[in-house]
Structure 1
Amino acid sequence: MYSRRYVITSLLGAIGAAGMATSAMTGEAWARQRNGVPIPESKPPVPRGARVAARPPAILVLDPGHGGRDPGAIGMSGTEEKDVTLSICQSIRDQLQRRSDIRVHLTRDNDTYIPLGSRVAFAHEKGADLFISIHADAAPNHSAHGLSAYSRSDRASDDFARKLADRENQVDTVYGFDASSTDKQTAAILIDLARRHSHNASLVAKRRIVTGMGKDVPLLDNPMRAANFAVLRSPSVPSVLIETGFLTNPHDERELRNPKSRAKLAQYLAEHIAPVTADLREA
Structure 2
Amino acid sequence: MAALLSLTVPESASAADEDREPPVLAYAARIAGDRARTRIVVDLDRKPVFEVRYLEKPDRIVVDLPAMAFAFPVEDLKARGLFKDVRYGAIGAQSARIVLTTERPAQLALAEVQADEAGKGFRLVLDAEMVKREVFDDLVKRQAWSGGKTAVGTPAAEAAARGDRLGTSSPVPGGTFVIAIDAGHGGIDNGAIAAETKTPEKDITLAFAKALQRRLAREPGIFAFLTRDGDEFLSLSERVTIARQHHANLFVSLHADKLRQDNIRGATVYTISDKASDKMAAELAERENLADVIGGADLATEPAEVTDILLDFTRRETQAFSVAMAEQVVSSFEGQVALINNPHRFAGFRVLQAHDVPSILLELGFLSNKEDEKVLLDESWREKIAELLTAAITRYREPALANGG
| TM-score of the aligned structures, taking structure 2 as reference length | 0.52
CA–CA distance in structure 2, aligned partners of residues 142 and 225 of structure 1: 19
Give the CA deviation at 1:282: 2.6
Cα RMSD between the aligned structures? Answer: 2.9
CA–CA distance in structure 2, aligned partners of residues 281 and 149 of structure 1: 22
- Which residue pairs with 1:84 in the alignment? 204
1:62 is aligned to 2:181: yes
CA contact (8 A) 1:146 1:219 kept: yes
Alignment CA distance shift 1:57-1:262 (3 Å):
same
Q: What is the correspondence of 1:87-102 to structure 2 with a 5 Å cutoff?
A: 87-102=207-222
Give the CA deviation at 1:56: 1.6
Give the CA deviation at 1:141: 1.5
- Which residue pairs with 2:23 in the alignment? none
Alignment CA distance shift 1:194-1:164 (3 Å):
closer
CA–CA distance in structure 2, aligned partners of residues 205 and 85 of structure 1: 19
Instruction: Provide the secondary structure at the position in 2 that maps to 1:18.
Output: strand
Give the CA deviation at 1:236: 1.3
1:228 is aligned to 2:324: no
Match of 2:264 among 137, 144, 167: 144
CA–CA distance in structure 2, aligned partners of residues 83 and 71 of structure 1: 8
CA contact (8 A) 1:140 1:164 kept: no
- Mean CA deviation greater in 91-100 or 266-275: 266-275
Alignment CA distance shift 1:100-1:194 (3 Å):
same
CA contact (8 A) 2:268 2:340 kept: yes
CA–CA distance in structure 2, aligned partners of residues 17 and 129 of structure 1: 29
Instruction: Provide the secondary structure at the position in 2 that maps to 1:240.
Output: strand
CA–CA distance in structure 1, aligned partners of residues 363 and 184 of structure 2: 10
Alignment CA distance shift 1:193-1:226 (3 Å):
closer
Alignment CA distance shift 1:196-1:113 (3 Å):
same
Q: What is the correspondence of 1:197-236 to structure 2 with a 5 Å cutoff?
A: 197-236=317-356
Q: What is the correspondence of 1:234-249 to structure 2 with a 5 Å cutoff?
A: 234-249=354-369
Amino acid in structure 2 at the alignment position of 1:146: G
Instruction: Provide the secondary structure at the position in 1 that maps to 2:258.
Output: coil
Q: What is the correspondence of 1:171-186 to structure 2 with a 5 Å cutoff?
A: none
Amino acid in structure 2 at the alignment position of 1:102: I
Instruction: Provide the secondary structure at the position in 1 that maps to 2:189.
Output: coil
CA contact (8 A) 1:131 1:239 kept: yes
Runs of 4+ aligned residues of structure 1 deviating over 2 Å after TM superposition are 13-20, 191-194, 277-282
CA–CA distance in structure 1, aligned partners of residues 233 and 312 of structure 2: 31
Asked which structure has the greater RCO (Cα within 8 Å, sep 6+), the reply is: 1
CA contact (8 A) 2:212 2:390 kept: yes
1:73 is aligned to 2:192: yes
CA contact (8 A) 1:135 1:241 kept: yes
CA contact (8 A) 2:326 2:344 kept: yes
- Which residue pairs with 1:158 in the alignment? 278
Amino acid in structure 1 at the alignment position of 2:188: R
Alignment CA distance shift 1:227-1:194 (3 Å):
closer
Alignment CA distance shift 1:160-1:234 (3 Å):
same
CA–CA distance in structure 1, aligned partners of residues 312 and 238 of structure 2: 22
How many positions carry a matched residue from both structures? 228
Give the strand-richer structure, 1 or 2.
2
CA contact (8 A) 1:91 1:267 kept: no
Give the CA deviation at 1:203: 1.1
Structure 2 unmatched ranges of 5 or more:
1-108, 120-172, 293-303
Give the CA deviation at 1:171: 7.9
Structure 1 unmatched ranges of 5 or more:
1-12, 24-53, 173-183
Match of 1:271 among 371, 383, 391: 391
1:123 is aligned to 2:219: no
CA contact (8 A) 2:189 2:291 kept: no
Give the helix-richer structure, 1 or 2.
1
CA–CA distance in structure 2, aligned partners of residues 259 and 83 of structure 1: 13
CA contact (8 A) 2:314 2:354 kept: no
CA–CA distance in structure 2, aligned partners of residues 201 and 88 of structure 1: 23
CA–CA distance in structure 2, aligned partners of residues 100 and 18 of structure 1: 41
Give the CA deviation at 1:278: 4.4
- Which residue pairs with 1:46 in the alignment? none
CA–CA distance in structure 2, aligned partners of residues 256 and 61 of structure 1: 21
CA–CA distance in structure 2, aligned partners of residues 73 and 171 of structure 1: 11
CA–CA distance in structure 2, aligned partners of residues 69 and 233 of structure 1: 23
User: Deviations along 1:112-149, whole A, 9 cap, x unmatched?
Assistant: 11111000001110111111101011124211110110
User: Deviations along 1:144-190, whole A, 9 cap, x unmatched?
Assistant: 11011000111110001011011110389xxxxxxxxxxx99xx89x
CA–CA distance in structure 1, aligned partners of residues 224 and 312 of structure 2: 28
Percent same amino acid among aligned pairs?
A: 35
